[in-house]
């Protein structure tokens, strides 16, 4: 049991450290909250529209993949303390850390370097996908996962720009991760 908790913490702590690092960088004026779009959406209708459309897209994709037997979800087999740590990391800490890093800092730096927005979005999506590639194998469903990760990263960036808030892609990302976890309990 302690080994499983230790492994769960080992997977979650990097996200917590990234959040603390970014918080420290903001306090030391390396970035401002405005640089990272840490503000309320310009309109909550934008926020909810992006979130709802993303939710519907994810559900449609997951049902489609399931119907053609391409949805791979291993059953959840963790004890309760480890599950609480992992679910907190996957649904809360990972989306916050990854959005701040990729749609926050990376896009801000690319903008500073005068990279055109569409190219900046593609670059951050490639980086985001590459960071997640450790979880993929050379299978059809894994390759679909790579494409889905890339598309998600692009959608998250457009949602950030459209709503003028990093909170929109954080909510979308958290929702996608929650659905992925729920699939492991249901399937």
> Residue 136 — very low, low, confident or very high, per pLDDT cuts 50/70/90?
low
CA distance 9 to 93: 12
> Residue 19 — very low, low, confident or very high, per pLDDT cuts 50/70/90?
very high
CB 90 within 8 A of CB 114: no
pLDDT tens digits, one per residue of 168-179: 999 999 999 999
Q: How many Cβ atoms are within 10 Å of 72's Cβ, its own excluded?
A: 16
> With 80 as the cut, is the pLDDT of residue 97 above it?
yes
pLDDT at 139: 81
> Residue 135 — very low, low, confident or very high, per pLDDT cuts 50/70/90?
low
Identify the CA nearest to 99 among candidates 18, 170, 47. Answer: 170
> With 70 as the cut, is the pLDDT of residue 22 above it?
yes
> With 80 as the cut, is the pLDDT of residue 133 above it?
no
Percentage of residues in the chain having pLDDT higher than 90: 87
Percentage of residues in the chain having pLDDT higher than 70: 98
> Residue 137 — very low, low, confident or very high, per pLDDT cuts 50/70/90?
confident
Identify the CA nearest to 73 among candidates 181, 185, 184. Answer: 184
pLDDT tens digits, one per residue of 25-43: 999 999 999 999 999 999 9
> With 70 as the cut, is the pLDDT of residue 132 above it?
yes
Q: Is 3 exposed, middle or buried (0-12, 13-18, 19+ CB in 10 A)?
A: exposed
> Residue 63 — very low, low, confident or very high, per pLDDT cuts 50/70/90?
very high
């Amino acid at each position: 049991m302690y080994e499983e908790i230790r492994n769960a913490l080992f997977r979650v702590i990097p996200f917590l450290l990234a959040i603390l690092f970014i918080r420290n960088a903001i306090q030391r004026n390396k970035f401002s909250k405005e640089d990272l779009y840490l503000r309320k959406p310009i309109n909550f209708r934008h926020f909810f529209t992006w979130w709802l459309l993303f939710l519907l897209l994810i559900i449609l994709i997951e049902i489609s993949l399931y119907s053609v037997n391409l949805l791979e979800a291993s059953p959840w087999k963790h004890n309760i303390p480890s599950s609480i740590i992992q679910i907190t990391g996957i649904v809360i800490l990972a989306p916050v850390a990854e959005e701040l890093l990729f749609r926050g800092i990376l896009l801000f730096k690319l903008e500073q370097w005068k990279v055109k927005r569409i190219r900046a979005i593609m670059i951050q999506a490639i980086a985001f996908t590459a960071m997640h590639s450790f979880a993929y194998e050379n299978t059809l469903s894994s390759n679909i996962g790579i494409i889905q990760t890339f598309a998600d990263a692009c959608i998250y960036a457009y949602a950030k720009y459209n709503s003028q808030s990093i909170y929109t892609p954080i909510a979308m990302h958290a929702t996608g991760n929650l659905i992925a976890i729920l699939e492991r309990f249901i399937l």
